[in-house]
Structure 1
Amino acid sequence: MRSRLIATLILSALSVALLFVLGSRLVRFSHIFRAHAGPALTQEQVELAYNSSTGEQKEAIPRIIHQIFHNFKDPSDNTIPEDWEVQRQTCIKHNPDFEHKLWTPQTSLEFLEKNYAWFVDTYNGYKFPVQRIDALRYFLMRHFGGIYIDLDNGCMRDLKPLLHYPAWVTDGGQGTLSNNLLGARPGHPFWDLMTDSLIPWGYHYPLPYLAVSYASGQWYETALWEDYHKMLEAAGSPEEDRIYRIMMDMREGADRWVFFTMGRGGSWDQWDNHLFGWTGNVLFPWLLRNFIWIALGLGAVVLTHTYLRRRKARKALRYKKLDTEEREESHELH
């Protein structure tokens, strides 16, 4: 009896712990579809602030542009696809006084081995190559600072106006934040948080998109963004620790793009990517808009099911009672 009680208590504790973990994950998941914390700036606002400033402005972000090319099929081939090279050349053309760093599999691993050896095993152990690219960009922001640009993005003009903010990420205006374009001064605490959290967040999720996005990609970035802003509020951190959202909304009627262009993506595109994209852009907003009606409908179904089940139980009890009475009467007659 005592051992059964102990086993019950242990199972109850494990169930509560599991529910807590799942609940916290669901709360984090919901942040993906909410309005994000932190100040947002359109590209036009950044341009206007830069053009209207008087005197020389101090640049917080160093003049470095980082780009990464890892050939997943042949890591020794560093030949960039032609359309991506065209995009890259627009950034070189408009920013001739920037240092341009192209990170290959070889130089990426050398950088981590020299400066962040504690992460190399995790880096090499990622199941999906794109996770190494995700992680690497965060370490580049932490170590060097500068601007990170995906190879499928190009530049429409020089990026100096974006150098006057301590750190920024890009926001497409819906769903997760984006990690395709990033900017930071070296040593910014947000990128310390992003890189230090990669190992504890490195779960092996069952779907490829979950494994990539929630362990190192855009869902990961968005969840830690919210955590960072909670810490900022609690600590009252200084201005240089702030981080901004530069808007890159592609929907019709959105604010004009000033600095960047968008080309072909496709470095990561699995079936579950489309599924979760549809969930975030279509299903989740529909559920929010119709929550009351859905709740009322589910409530009606539950009540109806309960009523019918009890009615069936009462009918069965009545038949059983009648059957018992009939058998008793038959027994008395005999």
Structure 2
Amino acid sequence: MDLSRYANVTWPRQRVPRVIHQTYRTYDIPAIWNTSVQSVITMNAGDFKYRRWSHADMDAFVQQHEPHFYRNTFVNYRYDMQRIDSFRYVLMFYLGGIYIDMDNGCHRPLREFVATMEALDPDSPHLALFPAEDTFGVQTDFVAPPSYKHIVTHS
């Protein structure tokens, strides 16, 4: 769907929390991602809070919010990427907002984009935005739900 045709739509009901989440092993990110990360922060300053999650932060968040899953599954994953992917789901379930991989940047602010998405179907409890995927599945390098908890409890 081309959301640009709905440019400048405003809607008073903000359903997606105005926070952008990004993750990396530590708070010091590789220089290769400085430009993309800075574009996300700069383009959205004032409209969105920004939160970077380290692996230690991710671990603590999952342990706090999903202790059974943490003990029985999360810590037993063989690969870090499995923990990172599952953290995204737990994070979006509880907090919502926008998750963007660090190698994705912004060329325009997300304000109008998110407001347009919220206005397209203002009464639907099912609101989430994922990028198009050519293969079978759902891409999670950019995700923008109110919170998965909201979606799951209203399904």
> TM (normalized to structure 1)?
0.40
1:79 aligns with one of 25, 28, 37:
28
Deviation by residue 1:261-286 (Cα, 9 ceiling, x = unmatched): xxxxxxxxxxxxxxxxxxxxxxxxxx
1:116 aligns with one of 66, 74, 91:
66
1:67 aligns with one of 9, 12, 22:
22
For 2:37, the aligned partner's letter is: R
2:146 aligns with one of 185, 202, 209:
185
Deviation by residue 1:111-163 (Cα, 9 ceiling, x = unmatched): 11221111112111100110011001111111111000011111111112224
Match of 2:3 in 1: 46
Distance in 2 between residues matched to 1:140 and 1:156, nearest whole Å: 25
1:168 aligns with one of 105, 129, 139:
129
Match of 2:89 in 1: 138
Give yes or no for contact 1:87–1:153 (8 Å, CA) kept in 2.
yes
SS of the counterpart of 1:109? helix
SS of the counterpart of 1:107? helix
Aligned length: 142
Give yes or no for contact 1:87–1:155 (8 Å, CA) kept in 2.
yes
Distance in 1 between residues matched to 2:97 and 2:11, nearest whole Å: 19
Distance in 2 between residues matched to 1:185 and 1:178, nearest whole Å: 17
Distance in 2 between residues matched to 1:108 and 1:88, nearest whole Å: 19
Give yes or no for contact 2:96–2:146 (8 Å, CA) kept in 1.
yes
Give yes or no for contact 1:61–1:145 (8 Å, CA) kept in 2.
yes
Deviation by residue 1:83-108 (Cα, 9 ceiling, x = unmatched): 11221110001000211111101111
SS of the counterpart of 1:167? coil
SS of the counterpart of 2:13? coil
Give the alignment of 1:248-327 within 5 angstroms: none
Distance in 2 between residues matched to 1:56 and 1:134, nearest whole Å: 31
- Give how far 1:175 is off: 4.0
Match of 2:39 in 1: 90
1:151 aligns with one of 93, 102, 121:
102
SS of the counterpart of 1:172? coil
Gaps of 5+ in 1: 1-40, 71-76, 193-236, 242-334
- Give how far 1:50 is off: 3.4
Higher relative contact order (CA 8 A, sep 6+): 2
Distance in 2 between residues matched to 1:188 and 1:138, nearest whole Å: 13
Give yes or no for contact 1:46–1:162 (8 Å, CA) kept in 2.
no
1:103 aligns with one of 48, 53, 57:
53
Distance in 1 between residues matched to 2:65 and 2:138, nearest whole Å: 27
Gaps of 5+ in 2: 119-126
- Give how far 1:48 is off: 2.0
* Larger-Rg structure: 1
- Give how far 1:174 is off: 3.9
- Give how far 1:170 is off: 1.6
Distance in 2 between residues matched to 1:125 and 1:133, nearest whole Å: 13
